[in-house]
Amino acid sequence: MPQGLLVVLSGPSGAGKGTVCQLLRQRNSALAYSVSATTRRPRPGERDGVNYFFLTREEFLAKRAAGEFLESAEVYGNLYGTPRSYVQEKLAGGQDVLLEIDTQGAMQVKTNYPAGVFIFLLPPSLVELEARITRRGTENLGERARRLAAAQSEIAQVRSYDYVVINDKVEQAVARVEAILLAEHTRVERFSDAELKELLGGQLV
């Protein structure tokens, strides 16, 4: 069975990563969404192994020391990480895995799994990015300024990615991501000699 693709999607706050990932998963039911591990307490309705893998801080640190995460970070006092075994199990089963993550985490993943497909999602412009953040109405003026500064810092890392997708209209952005995945699945180097021989009717050039 061909190996699945690890698809890493990053972008600044306001680029629409969550919306694009949600529609991408709706349109591609076989696409697995990476389940993160965390030390924070479960919220009502959350299930272990479905929403997160819930760990104690001691368990998390032991796993990190053993190299069991593709990436990890601490956010507001809680630890988060992408379990290597979960991702590898899905990939080995031929399933593509989608990982929505910030640039810092993406670069950790690239170091630990360089065969991944790294996609950077951009808004049409910084003006539109600011407008989207403003429309959300969840941040005050100072917080919006910090988010915009952080966005510019993240955008500066775009050349570390394989592809860039402009999210002007969500459906078009999703279609572009799907086109990238189709192209990646048909790259010659992703096929073994046996698979190529079968595709060529028993003849291998």
Question: CA dihedral in degrees (123, 127, 130, 136; nearest 10)?
Answer: -70
Using the structure block, give the residue that is written with the tokens 């796993």: 63
Domain 1-31+96-205 classification at class level: alpha beta
Query: For the chain, what is the mean pLDDT?
Result: 89
In the chain, CATH 3.40.50.300 covers 1-31+96-205
Higher local confidence (pLDDT), 136 or 17: 17
59-63, 151-155, 163-167: which has the minimum mean pLDDT? 151-155
Integer CA distances (angstroms), 70 to 80, 135, 159, in order: 11, 34, 21
What is the pTM (predicted TM-score) of this model? 0.84
Average pLDDT over residues 179-201: 87
Residue ranges of the chain that CATH labels 3.30.63.10 = 35-94
The tens digit of pLDDT for each residue in 106-123 reads: 999 999 999 999 999 998
Distance CA 128, CA 167 (A): 11
- Range 24-48 average pLDDT: 93
Q: Is the Cβ–Cβ distance between 102 and 11 less than 8 Å? A: no
Q: What is the CATH number of domain 35-94?
A: 3.30.63.10
pLDDT, position 136: 66
